[in-house]
Amino acid sequence: MEENRYNHYIVTMTFWTTALKSGSGPAYRRLADGLHAAITDGTVNIGDRLPPQRELAYELGVSTGTITRAYDLATRRGDVTAVTGKGSFVASPAMRKGDGAVNLRINLPADVGQGVDLAAALGQRSAAEFLSYIPFGGSEADRQAGAAYMKLGGVSTSPDDLIVTAGGQHALTTALMVATKPGDTILCEPFTFAGFLDYARLTDRQIVAIPADKEGIRPAAFEELCKMHQAAAAFLTPTAQNPTGTNLPESRRKAIAKSAFKHGLTIIEDGIYDPLMPEPPRTFHELLPHQTLYIASLSKTVAPGLRVGYLLCPP
């Protein structure tokens, strides 16, 4: 009987079993990795139809949910394409993610399959949770999760001191509304977050850039601008600064915190990259806790589509 690349199943191919027995990590990820390897080495061909999930689960002795997650991960990677009413097929190279140029216009977290895990987690929530309002600032459980997340970036805090926001931009907007008023001067790095600039200009805040060198903003210049402009706040990203990538040395952080304390200036610290640091440096929140509003977000570390951020207020 003539084989048709769109209707023959590849359930009997040994790569599924091999993938399941090799490597480490969750079974669904091993299966997705095995499929990717089989595509790469030519074991399977473009257009090959994948077996129905229940059939493959039976053959491998795993749950249908495991196969579903494996297929979902493979689809997100671009290895598989699903056709409604026909099934899932090995995708063509043009459809696969990761081929060709990498878009560096925007910072996005690495896709390591977390979307599948997030979708599964959301699927476990009851419908009633999506049809009701949550408490202002987030539920106790949400704030506890936020405190645990911030600890990854070296920030220890009580859930009572933070609020949950709809992303980092929301947290920044809230911080600026709290710390400044129209007409106030805000100091910032020479190159800074475009969302901050847009908000400041739309709400009649004055922006003054702090001179910097290869190590970041210069403390002496910061001190001089504090005196010259009587600035109300400073918006700073001291760790993995965007877009320069600089990490402000601790000595400069201490000097800037000292000047901020002296002039009664509020530091709005953007710490969204802190959890990515192998050894997170000391934050302004640690050095000057009573005059720092600290921002964290899942957008650069987990998934921007979640729209989850945190604003840590002074204790």
- Structural domains present in the chain: 1-125 (1.10.10.10), 137-312 (3.40.640.10)
The Cα 95–Cα 234 span in angstroms is 45
Q: How far is CA 143 from CA 119, 128, 151, 157, 283, in A?
A: 21, 20, 12, 10, 20
Interval 121-136: pLDDT, tens: 777 777 777 788 888 8
pLDDT in tens, 82-128: 777 778 888 766 445 554 566 677 788 877 667 667 776 777 777 77
Residues in the chain: 315
Tell me: the pLDDT tens digits for 129-180? 778 888 888 889 999 999 999 999 999 999 999 999 999 999 999 999 999 9
- What was the pLDDT predicted at 211? 97
pLDDT in tens, 184-227: 999 999 999 989 999 999 999 999 999 999 999 999 999 999 99
* pTM recorded for the entire structure: 0.69
